[in-house]
């Protein structure tokens, strides 16, 4: 138990979950993540699992240090909370996909070599897409298709960089900052897609709002935070990431303020909050890296709580637009209170966990004498309070009563999961040392200084006053905000379809003309039966090329054989 891989616990549970009866599956959905959390507390630092692989290579399936341990802990906790939230779900294969997704995320965190990392990275993408597709409507199918295409592209970039590292004789995952070679840029781009760094971010805001109610809770928690972990591991101190992160923080806030769909609003704010972490990775100091780690930890808790709250509203009302919601406070008082704890947390209100992690990053910018970065991150923080802490709950719960009747009551497991997330958001906010003691770097920080608390409250109160003044202009509008996904939804789609038509028509034309030329030169190709020996029995059968052509499967088989022979020849020579 002391050295068992928590990710493998979840993966094995996911493999079997799809085949189990409902009651047994529910027990596995809670029991496996609980066992993973227990295994984390029994997993010593410096644990190493190695497995022999081809060409005398050793795969490091489990390499534990302080950084991977913190991320492993929060991923295991989130798997438990997310599965409790999903217990009412009758779709056994969605439960299997969620467990595989969480387990593969842990696999990336504990991977000590490139081959193990890319394997779990791809498994993470392949399993998570089903949390979108199981929604079952046309929007979910389209969003999931685009999601997997984008992640396949990012995975191929990452794989190309990994190949370069493997060829160079560097099989272990290690810091890449300062190398600036082709592998550096390929791996950085691959990770940047998963981190949703603009303009490579639109897959997130396209797909997450279309996921299932329970699936989106998992989606909000793992992919981007795995990317943050990988950035800390590989690119700490890469200065390019400082301003990249600042742009993310502001970009997400602006689009969130404009958004009408409640889960799309929260999805944009994932981009904003991950921006803080990316900027901290770029700073590269021990305090900044601790800030990125602790903020990822906090973000998983409060963002999943917010998605659970939004999911509860969608589950109970069947509505997801701010312009369609309002006046739900009296009908869903417990859900409102739990949601507001998440809103206070993400906004950095003192006594909740966002305050003890976000402030660490902003303070790191101050200590590094980056006043512009500090100011812009503060500005993004004000925007967070405006839309997630004020706009969304006001128009969803407290705004004009539209006479909405709840279609169904929330199951008790949804309340339990939300209460668990709210409790942890409050616990780490009140007692930050419970988290700080596990942070990977030696940097001391005290968030509850008098100046810090007072300045934070001043900003929050000022933003509240501005919101109160401009309430009539901040309501949800039934419009769509155009983002960078427009380019692959519209122009690129036209280009690809046009290219496909051109290639098919060219192939058909050349095939027709080539066969005509071949028949004129060698008449046997016009009618092979005419040249075959005649038995003299019965009439001569007219040749029909559609009757005698090879099956398409044989053509594919021949192509595969030729490909294998070609690759083998190149490999041998």
Distances 466 to 246, 390, 457, 470 between C-alpha atoms, Å: 23, 11, 14, 6
Structure tokens at 196: 């949703």
Query: In 3-state terms, what secondary structure has residue 363?
Result: helix
Structure tokens at 529: 């039966």
Residue 193 CA to chain centroid, in angstroms?
9
Taking the CB of residue 558, how many other CB atoms lie within 10 A of it?
Answer: 11
342 neighbors 298 (Cβ within 8 angstroms): no
273 neighbors 299 (Cβ within 8 angstroms): yes
Please enumerate in sequence order all residues whose Cβ is within 8 A of that of 495, keeping only pairs 6 or more positions apart, or say none: none
Comparing CA positions, the residue from 192, 59, 185 lying closest to residue 118 is 59
Contacts of 535-544 spanning 24+ positions with Cβ under 8 A: none
Half-sphere exposure of 535 (CA within 13 A, CB side): 4
Class of residue 438 by CB neighbours under 10 A (exposed 0-12, middle 13-18, buried 19+): middle
pLDDT of the residue at 134: 94
For residues 225 and 218, what is the distance between their CA atoms, to the nearest angstrom?
Answer: 11
| Angle, helices 114-128/138-167, rounded to nearest 10 degrees | 170
pLDDT of the residue at 541: 61
Q: What is the model's pTM?
A: 0.87
Q: Is the CA virtual torsion 398, 404, 405, 408 positive or negative? A: negative
pLDDT of the residue at 476: 63
Alpha helices, DSSP H, located in 470-544: 471-474, 486-489, 491-521, 528-531
What is the biggest distance separating any 2 CA atoms in the chain, rounded to whole angstroms?
A: 108
Taking the CB of residue 498, how many other CB atoms lie within 10 A of it?
Answer: 10
Comparing CA positions, the residue from 271, 218, 229 lying closest to residue 384 is 271
**DSSP letters spanning 341-404:** HHHHHHTT-TTSHHHHHHHHHHHHHHHTT-HHHHHHHHHHHHHHIIIIIIIHHIIIIIS-----
549: left (phi over 0), alpha (psi -120 to 50) or beta: beta
48-52 and 58-63 beta bridge pairing: antiparallel
Q: Is the CA virtual torsion 272, 277, 279, 280 positive or negative? A: positive
What would the 3-class secondary structure string for 305-322 be? Answer: HHHHHHHHHHHHHCCCEH
Q: What is the mean pLDDT of each run of 10 residues along the chain (573 residues)?
A: 82 93 94 96 92 86 95 97 95 95 97 95 96 94 93 95 92 91 96 94 93 96 96 95 96 89 93 96 96 97 96 93 87 94 94 94 94 94 88 87 86 96 96 95 90 89 85 70 78 83 84 79 71 60 68 78 78 66
Residue 164 CA to chain centroid, in angstroms?
25
**DSSP letters spanning 410-430:** PPHHHHHHHHHHHHHHHHHHH
pLDDT of the residue at 1: 40
For residues 423 and 415, what is the distance between their CA atoms, to the nearest angstrom?
Answer: 12
Query: Any idea of the CA torsion for 58, 293, 47, 124, to the nearest 10 degrees?
Result: -50
pLDDT of the residue at 529: 66
Structure tokens at 30: 């809670």
């Amino acid at each position: 138990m002391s050295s068992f891989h928590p990710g493998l616990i979840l993966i094995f549970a996911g493999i079997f979950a799809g085949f189990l009866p409902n009651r047994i599956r529910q027990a596995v959905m809670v029991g496996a993540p609980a066992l993973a959390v227990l295994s984390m507390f029994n997993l010593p630092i410096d644990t190493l699992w190695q497995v022999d692989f081809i060409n005398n290579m050793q795969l490091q399936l489990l390499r534990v240090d302080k950084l991977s341990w913190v991320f492993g802990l929060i991923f295991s906790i989130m798997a438990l909370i997310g599965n409790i939230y999903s217990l009412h779900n009758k779709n056994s294969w969605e439960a299997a996909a969620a467990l595989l997704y969480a387990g593969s995320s842990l696999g990336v965190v504990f991977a000590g070599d490139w081959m193990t990392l890319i394997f779990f990275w791809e498994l993470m993408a392949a399993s998570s897409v089903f949390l979108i597709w199981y929604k079952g409507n046309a929007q979910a199918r389209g969003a999931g298709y685009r999601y997997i295409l984008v992640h396949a592209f990012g995975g191929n970039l990452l794989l190309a960089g990994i190949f370069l590292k493997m060829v160079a004789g560097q099989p272990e995952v290690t810091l890449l900052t300062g190398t600036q070679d082709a592998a550096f840029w390929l791996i950085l781009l691959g990770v940047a897609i998963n981190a949703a760094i603009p303009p490579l971010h639109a897959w997130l805001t396209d797909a997450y709002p279309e996921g299932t109610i329970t699936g989106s809770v998992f989606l909000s928690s793992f992919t981007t935070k795995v990317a943050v972990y990988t950035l800390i591991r590989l690119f700490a101190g890469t200065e390019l990431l400082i301003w990249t992160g600042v742009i993310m923080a502001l970009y997400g806030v602006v689009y969130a303020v404009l958004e009408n769909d409640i889960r799309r609003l929260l999805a944009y704010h994932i981009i904003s909050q991950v921006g803080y972490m990316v900027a901290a990775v770029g700073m590269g100091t021990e305090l900044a890296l601790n800030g990125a780690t602790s903020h990822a930890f906090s973000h998983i808790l409060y963002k999943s709580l917010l998605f659970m709250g939004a999911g509860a509203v969608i589950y109970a009302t069947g509505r997801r637009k701010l312009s369609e919601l309002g006046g739900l406070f009296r009908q869903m008082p417990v859900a409102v209170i739990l949601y507001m704890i998440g809103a206070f947390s993400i906004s950095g209100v003192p006594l909740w966990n966002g305050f003890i992690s976000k402030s660490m990053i902003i303070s790191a910018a101050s200590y590094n004498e980056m006043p512009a970065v500090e100011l812009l991150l503060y500005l993004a923080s004000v925007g967070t309070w405006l839309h997630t802490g004020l706009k969304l709950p006001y128009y969803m719960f407290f705004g004009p009563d539209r006479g909405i009747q709840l279609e169904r009551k929330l199951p008790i497991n949804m309340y339990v999961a939300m209460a668990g997330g709210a409790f942890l958001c409050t616990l780490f906010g009140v007692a930050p040392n419970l988290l700080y003691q596990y942070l990977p770097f030696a940097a001391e920080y005290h968030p509850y200084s008098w100046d810090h608390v007072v300045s934070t409250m001043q900003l929050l109160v000022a933003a509240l006053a501005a919101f109160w003044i401009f309430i009539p202009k901040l309501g949800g509008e039934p419009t769509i905000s155009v983002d960078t996904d427009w380019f692959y939804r519209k122009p690129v789609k036209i280009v690809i379809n046009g290219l496909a038509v051109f290639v098919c028509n060219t192939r058909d034309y050349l095939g027709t003309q080539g066969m005509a030329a071949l028949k004129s030169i060698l008449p046997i190709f016009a009618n092979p039966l005419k040249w075959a020996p005649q038995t003299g029995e019965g009439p001569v059968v007219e040749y029909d090329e559609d009757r005698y052509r090879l099956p398409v499967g044989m053509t594919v088989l021949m192509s595969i054989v030729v490909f294998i022979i070609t690759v083998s020849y190149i490999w041998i020579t």
